[in-house]
Amino acid sequence: MTVQADAWTTPRGKLWAKASWFRQSTDEWYTEGAQPILLPDNTLGERPADSRQPYRFDGMYESTAVFLEGYYGLTDAVDVGLQVPWFDQSFDDDTRIDPPSESGFSDLRVYGRWRMFRRPFLLTLKTGVKIPTGEFKNEDGLIPVGEG
């Protein structure tokens, strides 16, 4: 088994692959401007600008992302890679019967790496393109994550 860091290219005829999984959830959002709030003594107060505050109505944002990625060595100094991302996002609170959510595959990414030097130092050039093939749409306003 060979272990490699990203600056090295995948050896000729070899395949390198990984799967990454990320999960995030929050019950707070960021506010750019001051927000009115009801204080414990039932008077009106203000939450300062540039602060986090709980979502109203017990809101909860959840996000999951999975990335499948692989590289194949064309030569010992050149390899090509592919990344397939999948996302799932949702927002729910006590006011919604049908909470907004979106999930699906996102745009493919294709990469190429060329190891230019190995000595006296290691230098690898990496380039990539994003191909609009995905079904997942991260629409603005679907999920309120903040104002800033």
Distance CA 122, CA 103 (A): 39
Residue 55: closest CA among 47, 64, 43, 44 = 47
- From first to last of its 148 residues, what are the pLDDT tens digits of the chain? 555 555 689 999 999 999 999 999 988 877 778 878 888 898 998 888 878 878 878 888 888 999 999 999 999 999 999 999 999 988 888 888 888 888 889 899 999 999 998 888 888 999 999 999 887 766 555 555 544 3
Q: Quick one: pLDDT at residue 112?
A: 97
Q: Quick one: pLDDT at residue 47?
A: 80
Lookup: tokens for 1: 């088994």
Q: Quick one: pLDDT at residue 98?
A: 85
Segments making up each domain of the chain, as ranges: 15-26+38-131
Cα dihedral value 107, 6, 112, 127, nearest 10 = 70
- First and final CA of the chain: distance in angstroms? 46
Local structure of residue 12 (DSSP, 8 states):
B
Confirm if 74 and 12 have CB atoms less than 8 A apart: yes
